[in-house]
Every structure is written in structure tokens, then in C-alpha cells.
Chains A and B, each alone.
Chain A
Amino acid sequence: MDFLRPDTLAEALALKAEHPDAVPIAGGTDVMVELNFDHRRPAALLDLTRVAELRQWSERAGVVRLGSGVPYARVIDELGGALPGLAAASRTVGSPQIRNRGTVGGNLGAASPAGDAHPVLLTVDAVVEAVSARGTRLIPATEFYLGVKRNALEPDELIAAVLIPRARGPQQFCKVGTRNAMVIAVCSFAIALHPAAARVAAAIGSAAPTPRRASAAEEFLSGELTAADQWRSPRPLPEPVRRRFGELVAEAASPIDDVRGTAAYRGHALAVLARRALGWAWQDYQDHRDRWGGSV
């Protein structure tokens, strides 16, 4: 097995163009598991850890450009204010060791239906910046996940960064696992309120072949909020609205029975998570409307 060690992104892209079969390795927390279990036997590994450009983040015009190689620990420490949903998801990933190594870029590269970053990225209008020797391609997160562990990258492309607008409304992420830490999601849920656009985004993880948006639930809730003029003068959400929202989120899932949980439980749990997370997000909006700009 060849071990390719580029120092710059340009070098990495040249190597990837030359060796499209080379498997990129960032934190290695997915790749090394696959090698260890003998699930994968690539001809070459493309080590991205020396590429400094990938390990940085910056913010311009209200958009955070998160280098694909920034580990979860730094998302938590440095971006909790700008990207609260992603930071919340990052906190639930693995153990401290995994959060020190693992990256959002790696989560996207693996594209596991259980990846914790995905539901959040789907709700915050994130865009994946895919690069190759041919140039740069911007792929909205909503178009990135194609199937179980399949994503929209071309063989010669690498993920340079993820572009994520700074939060302009409350965000929540929650995940059910059968242990209180260090657990793969049985199912997960993310919600982001976008008051400026009078819109709600919601997404689920580990409950379908890919992470996905819960569109019917979003439309229902956005409709209810607008109809009741809630964005401008937020009041407690009626219980039936929260409940209906939960049900619609659960309906967006096509879960399976597996060793981690039953399909029925996943559906049930998603409804509970969605109802609760909406309550928290809305309470936050009610309490801090000024902070969120409340400019509708």
C-alpha cells in the first residue's frame, strides 16, 4: 500500500488526479477502522494531515468556511457561537480521543447514514466545497448524500471545506443511543430556525439510507408559524403543533430493524426528539428574539 503525503492542497489534488483510487485519510477514525477490519484494501492512502489549508477555518460575510480537516474538538471550542448546531453534534461524537482526531470532512467523506454532522449540515444551508485539479465545485449538503455511504464527490475530488452561514436563529441537535456517551446514533435529529426567512429546517439521521430533510414537517411548521404570526410575536407553541411536527418528522424516516434498535422505536424516538427539540429551539427564540435579529 502506498502512503502519499502531500504538503499542500495543490499537491494533494495533483496526487488525487494521478491516483483516483487513493483513499484520502484525515483523522483516520473511519479509514483505520475499515483497514483494521479488512473491509477495505486501497492501493494507496492519501494523507491529508500535513495540508495546513485544510485545518483552518475563517469567517467572511457571515459565512464560516470550515476546513475539512478541522477536528470536532476545535469546532466545539472555537465555533460554538457561530455554529451552535454543528458544535452540539460534535460534542456527541465518540470520545475525547475521537473528537481530537475526527473531522467534519471525514464525516462527509464517509457519508454514513449515522454520521452526526449530517442532519445539522442539512438544516443550516451548508455547502460542500469540492476541489480537484479541474477546479472547485460547490455542492449543497442537500445534494451531497446519494446512498448508504455514497456521496456526490467525483473520484478526483477532495473536500476542501464546508461553507456554513453563521447561525441566525436557534439550532438544536439530539441523538439517541443506548449508552450515555460514545455511541453510534440509533437515530438523530437536527432543527434550525431561520427567522429572517420565516422558515424552519429539520433533518434526521440514522433513520433512512441517507441523512435527509423532513420536508413535510418543515412545511407544516413554517406554515403554522407564519399563519399565527409567530415569527414577529413569538408565543408558546401549542402542544398539538409540536406533536404534529414530531409525527411528520417520524414519517420522513424509512428506518430499519437492526442490532441497534427497531424501526418502530426509531420512528417513535424521532417523534419525541423532534417535539422536544422544537420546544427548546422555540423557547430560545422567544427568550432571545433580539439576539436572533427577529427582523421579519
Chain B
Amino acid sequence: MSPIRTALTSALTSEVTGGIGTSPRRPDGNLKVRGEFAYASDLWHEDMVWGATLRSPHPHARIVSVDLTEAIRVPGVRAVLTHEDVPGLNRYGLERKDQPVLAEGVVRYQGEPVALVAADHPETARRAMRRVKVAYEVLEPVVDVETAAGAAPLHPGGNLLRHVPVRRGDQAATAAVVVTGRYEVGMQDQAFLGPESGLAVPAEDGGVDLYVATQWLHVDREQVARALGMPEDKVRLTLSGVGGAFGGREDLSMQVHACLLALRTGRPVKMVYNREESFYGHVHRHPAVLHYEHGADRTGKLSYVKAKIYLDGGAYASSTGAVVANAATLGIGPYEVDNVTVDAWGLYTNNPPCGAMRGFGAVQAAFAYESQMDRLAAELGLHPVELRLRNAMAEGSVMPTGQLVDSAAPVARLLELVRDKPLPPPSGALDLRDMPGGVANTTHGEGVVRGVGYAVGIKNICFSEGYDDYSTARVRLQVVNGEPVAQAHTAACEVGQGLVTVVQQIVRTELGVRRVAILPMDTTIGDGGSTSASRQTYVTGGAVKAACAAVRAELAAMAGTEDLSEVDLAELLGDRVVDRTAEYRHRRTEPIAPVTGQGNAHVQYGFAAHRAVVDVDTELGLVKVVRLDCAQDVGRALNPQAVVGQIQGGSAQGLGLAVMEEIRTSGGRVRNPSFTDYLIPTTLDMPPMGVDVLELADPNAPYGVRGVGEPPTISSTPAIVAAIRAATGLALTRVPVRPEHITGT
């Protein structure tokens, strides 16, 4: 299997120096740059056949009948399956098992899988798929999130998925200055470049081996095994090359489908979505409607915040519950407020299912609370940063949930850092690339107004609400060609973020070896947890560190001394192999109290602040972000270059949400399932960034790290919109901001 070879050889031939705190090259970097890295879509097996998925064209319909006759007759077709062929439980889901593997009786979103085909050629599979005759009785779709709770129930138990109230202090507090607002966040897509894909190989023991691009091998396995009606040890997963994830691979896509087809046909089955199918094949960021009321005294000190947040979960639950909890508990932002009334609701509708995406509930809330802070600053005649400084939380502050913030929370310093950076000079001689509209030549300066905006955000790091969140790592040390070589094995998914680099760095630092091979990530080792919630460097990094400590203890015993600095490891080891496995758990959290929202629900908080400088063509409504500066505390930068990369990437994704990225739906139907019309920022949209990285160690975390990946996505969007407001004077209560919102046409 080529991906396995790739991982091993690349690790063995990659750079051999660089412990923590340095920025060695990624072990997979050269392959990726050369286009030789094997992504899941490159998987290949002799004798393999191809799977295809028939999807519902309707957002909501009853399935009256399914006729497979014509499809089965197509020469080259190996199997055509429906829900009746699912041997185990025809339901899966990260939080609730509410999503059918294949639709049963009803479809609840456009693109819901209804039937599967396996054929000798992908083309044949697609053609046969079109011959499956499904008779639908179209039903009225539920599409409005604010009224969904009272609409016809889409699931037993109704359309309310979760309600998280947070109550703190005086619920009847009043204030001298009050600002209110209603805000909307459109549906953003993760827009990862590698489409969903994988290869399922039937095994001799009746089980199945699945090679797949995913974010969490063990939870995939649990769900696949349940759907197949098999014990988990019969389902073995290996991570294949992942082309980005951003939350979009936390839920199952083709995993069960490929396994079903492989077990039915007795042949390896490959499935790869094309770009359009990918838009239907994964969850998106929850669109939201948010109502806020901020009360403050005349000095700008916040007296109270009230919020009602509606998050559209779409047809199935996915991780909506956790997204709702984040929006509620982080809903007022990184500010100290004594009196808080927040309600967040997650609802079922017939819109596309929504789940995890970088920022996870914190993004939606931040757009609203930061817009409110700007409104309040304007009302009080204060500089937007000054108002924030007067309310900024700090280490020792108490969250609206009652949780004490017990490590660094340098909110004020982050704001001051971005505020005090020099501003870019006004655009000089005409270079169209610097203009809103770029080389499309829409302005030579006419109508262009500059604006500056600020924002700061807060994100919980790692899994919350009492979840037993851990990772497992195995480190093995032996002498190869006269040199000690370590192997590190985890099930923690490398999705492009660079975990493999960090794991190598940790092993080099802890064991003092040069060569560290990263073994393929698979389910032969214990759970690595999800590559999400900015948690892998923290949790899997912690597990690797712990496994190294166990190896060191063994070496110390062998050497008869704790101090290994003078010991020649090759000599000490000889033919012996030291092999240790360790689990790492972060400190425990608590569930959120259902009525008051109180509880120590979160492990760690991450903070970032942005200043955006934009040029807006006020007549055409086009925006050029001129500069986007960020300051973030990362606890400890294990790999400084990767940290800055995360900050730049996260900021770019926030820029996308601010000015262009939205899955547009109409009556539950997706109107732009392609990169022609779902626009993401290009290199000409993303400005230069000044990045300040603070390293204020968290004493509770391995090496003091603080999760890096998500915070920059959160404050980027509201900072850019604030800058557009500053340039235009418009209220702009919805993201993404479209040209017609600015021109009013």
C-alpha cells in the first residue's frame, strides 16, 4: 500500500535535527511540494472496483419506492445497495445516532445518500446510479432556524437539538447605555482541497481494512463497526493522505459505504467524491442568527449582556450540541461581565447538516459580540480598543459559567499589540493589484475609502463538558545502522497541520535522538482522539512526551543513571529494543449545569486579536484587505513557523467568512456547490500579516502549550467587518458582506 510506504520512508529520510522550539521541515513537505504525496484519492489496489453514491435531489421528501432493476443490469455493475443492505444499525452520528447510513423512508436534506453502486469503472458506477429509480413525494422543507422549533418535527422528539442557557448575576440588571443588534452568519464551508475518499479492502477474517482520509480514526471505527454489525476488532482503519479537514472530516462520509460495498462484492472498493459531491458530502459551519443586548455605564464598563443565539444544525445533529455549548459559554467574548443572560439553541432543519468547523460555535458568537462592542464604543464615543481594554478579562477572571480563568489570558496585551503596530502607508502609485477589484480594473482610486477595525476572541481548547479526552502514543527505540532510531506511533490524524513534525521534535528533545520515524496512524494502537478543538499538540503531544519519559526511565535503568546526557545510546541499547506506550489525559472538566449553564466545562482558553486595514470601493462595494495583523498567545511555540502558519491560515479563513465564503441555499437547496461560485480567498485577497506570538506558558499543559489552530479564525472576521464599517459608516450585520450590502442595491 503506497501511503504506508510513503509515511515510513519520508520519516526516515527527512531532516534529522530540530527539537521543540525550532522549526524543522515537515517530513512530508518535499513530497507535497513535488506533488508526490499520496493522498487518499490516490489510493489504488489490484482488483479494486469503484463505488458511487446516489443522493437525494430534494431537501425533504418521502421515499415512495426504490427500483434497482435497471441499475443492476448495467454490465460491469457489482452491487447496488440500499438501507435494507445495512447489516448493523442504520444510524450513526457523533453525538446522536440520528443519521441513516442510507436513507430509510424519508430524506431530510439535498444530497442525502439513498443508494450505493459498485462497478468495475467509476464511469459505469455513475451511469448505473442514474438508473436507480427513486420515487419521491416531495415534502415542505423546514428552512428557517428561528421558527424551526415550532415547525413540523423532522425527527422524533422535535426540532430542538439542544438549548444551553447561561445565567450569571442579576438577571434584571439595567444600564445607562444600551445597544442592541441582530446579526447573521452565513454557512461557511471548510473547503478542504482533498475530497472525501478512501479504500475498503475485505479481509480474510470476514472483517474489513479501511484506508481513509479522516480526523478521528477510532470514532470512525466505532461508527463503522456498529453499522456493519461487527465487533470493532474486525474493522481496522489506517489514515491515508489527508488534504485538509478543518472539522469537515469529523463526521462519516464514505466510510461505511465503501465497507458495505467491499463486504458485498468481496473486492476492494474505492470511493472518491468529486468537488460538487464533496459539498454535499460533509457538514458545514452552522449558519446563525444572533440577537444581542449590551448594557454599560457611561465609562464603558459592561453592566450586562443578553444574547439569544440560533444555530442551524440542518438535517442531522452531527456535533451541534457541542457547538451550541461553545456559542453559549463563550457567547459574550473575552470580557468580564457580572450579569449575563445567554441562550443558545441548536435546531434541526432541512438545510445541509452542519457540524464542526474551525472555531466551532465561537466564530458565530464573536461576530455578534464584537460587532456589539463596536456599536457600544461608538455610542460612548470611545476608541473601540479602549472600550475593550476597559472590559478585558485577565488571568483570575471568572467566566459567565463561573469557571475561573486560571492561566494566562492576556486579552488587553493582545489588543494593545495589534493597536500599536504601525499602520500601512496609504496606497501610493497606481498598482491595480493593490486596489479593491485587483487587476479587473474597477477603480484607480475612485470611491476608495480606508477603514481600520479591531477584534479579539476566545476559544476553548480540547474537548469540554466532562468528556474523557485522551491520546495514546507508543515510542520505540532501537539501533539501526549503528544509530539509535525512534519510531513514534499514534492514531492521531495528520490532516496537514504538521502534527507529524511536532511529534518528531518532541521525541528528539526527550530522547536526544536524531532520527524519528512516524509510523502510519491506524487503529492497531489506542485512541488518539480527534484532530479538532486545537488539541493534538496538547493531547497527543502530551502522550508522546509521556511515552518518551517511559522510554527514558527504561534507559536510565539500563544505564544505572538518571543522567543520559553522557551515555552513548547505541552502545547502551545494543540489540535491545525499548518500546513503551503511554496515555495522556488533560485535566478533567465538568458538564454544564442544565438550567444555569454553570460549571468548569472547559480545559483551557485561547485568545487572539486582530487589526484589519481595508480599502473599500464604496461605490462598487468591493473590498481589499490591505493588512491583517494578529497577536496570539500560544503558551509555548513548539514549532514557531508552524504556529505562524496556523495564524495566517486561520486568519485567511476568517477573511473568507468576512467577505466571500458562503454556501448559499434556497429552500434547502445549495446554489453554489463548486469552487466557481463558492469563493475562497486567493493569494491576491490575503494581505501581508504582522504576527506577534506570545508564549505565556500554561502550567497545566505539556510544555505550557496553548492550542493554536482556532483562535485566529475567530477574531479575523469581526476585525475585517469592523474595518469595512469604519470605511463606509454602514451597520453591516451579516457576514459574508457582499458588494450589494455596501452599495445598497
Question: CB within 8 Å of B: which residues of A?
Answer: 36-38, 88, 91-92, 95, 172-184, 186, 259-262, 264-265, 267-269, 272-273, 276-277, 279-280
Contact = CB atoms under 8 A, between A and B. Distances in A.
A186 B660 CA distance: 13
A180 B443 contact: no
Contacts of A280: 444
A264 B619 contact: no
Given A38-B126, A260-B677, A273-B442, A179 B682 contact: yes
Contact of B685 (A95, A179, A262): A179
A260 B662 CA distance: 11
Contacts of A277: 441
B438 A181 contact: yes
Given A38-B126, A265-B743, A174 B440 contact: yes
A267 B745 contact: yes
Given A36-B274, A173-B441, A265 B740 contact: yes
B436 interface: yes
Nearest to A185: B440
Given A92-B440, A262-B740, A264-B745, A179 B620 contact: no
B678 to A, nearest CB: 9
B676 A178 contact: no
B272 to A, nearest CB: 13
Interface string B673-697: 0001101011111000000000000
Contacts of A37: 276
* A-B complex: 3 closest residue pairs judged by Cβ atoms: A180-B438, A181-B684, A268-B745
Contacts of A174: 437, 440-442
Interface of B: 126, 274, 276, 433, 436-444, 446-447, 619-622, 624, 659-660, 664, 671-672, 676-677, 679, 681-685, 738-740, 743, 745
B685 A180 contact: yes
A36 to B, nearest CB: 7
A294 B622 CA distance: 36
Contacts of B740: 261-262, 264-265
Nearest to A180: B438
Contacts of A268: 743, 745
A179 to B, nearest CB: 5
A144 to B, nearest CB: 24
B320 to A, nearest CB: 26
Given A178-B679, A269-B620, A269-B621, 4 more contacts: A176-B437, A179-B682, A180-B622, A181-B438
Contacts of B743: 265, 268-269
13 contacts: A88-B441, A175-B442, A178-B660, A179-B681, A180-B436, A180-B624, A183-B440, A264-B740, A264-B745, A265-B743, A268-B745, A272-B619, A276-B442
A260 B676 CA distance: 10
Contact of B739 (A95, A181, A269, A279): A269
Nearest to B274: A36
A242 B549 CA distance: 76
Q: Which of A95, A178, A186, A264 has the most CB of B within 10 A?
A: A178
Contacts of A186: 739
Contacts of B739: 176, 178, 186, 261, 265, 269
Nearest to B662: A259
Given A37-B276, A173-B441, A280-B444, A178 B685 contact: no
A286 to B, nearest CB: 15
A95 B676 CA distance: 12
A36 B682 CA distance: 23
A174 B447 CA distance: 15
A37 B619 CA distance: 36
B371 to A, nearest CB: 21
Contacts of A184: 676-677
Contacts of B664: 259
B295 to A, nearest CB: 37
A186 B433 CA distance: 19
A259 B671 contact: yes
Q: Which of B437, B672, B677 has the most CB of A within 10 A?
A: B437
Contacts of A175: 440-442
B201 to A, nearest CB: 28
Nearest to A92: B440
A176 B442 CA distance: 7
B124 to A, nearest CB: 13
Q: Which of B126, B442, B672, B745 has the most CB of A within 10 A?
A: B442
B438 A259 contact: no
A79 to B, nearest CB: 16
A184 B675 CA distance: 11
Contact of A92 (B441, B624, B685): B441
Contacts of B682: 95, 179-182
A37 B624 CA distance: 32
Contacts of B685: 179-181
Given A181-B685, A259-B671, A264-B740, A176 B677 contact: no
A137 B74 CA distance: 46
Nearest to B678: A259
B441 A183 contact: no
Contacts of B660: 178-179
Contacts of B443: 276
A204 B300 CA distance: 51
Nearest to A177: B440
Contacts of A264: 740, 745
Contacts of B436: 180
B450 to A, nearest CB: 16
A176 B684 contact: no
A284 B443 CA distance: 15
Contacts of B447: 272
B117 to A, nearest CB: 15
Contacts of B441: 88, 92, 172-175, 277
A215 B660 CA distance: 34
Q: Which of B444, B446, B739 has the most CB of A within 10 A?
A: B739
Contact of A176 (B446, B620, B671, B681): B620
Contacts of B438: 180-181
A179 B679 CA distance: 7
Contacts of B622: 176, 178, 180
A35 B153 CA distance: 41
A221 B664 CA distance: 40
B721 to A, nearest CB: 15
Contacts of A92: 439-441
Contacts of A36: 274
A182 B621 CA distance: 18
A38 B274 CA distance: 11
A272 B620 CA distance: 7
B50 to A, nearest CB: 15
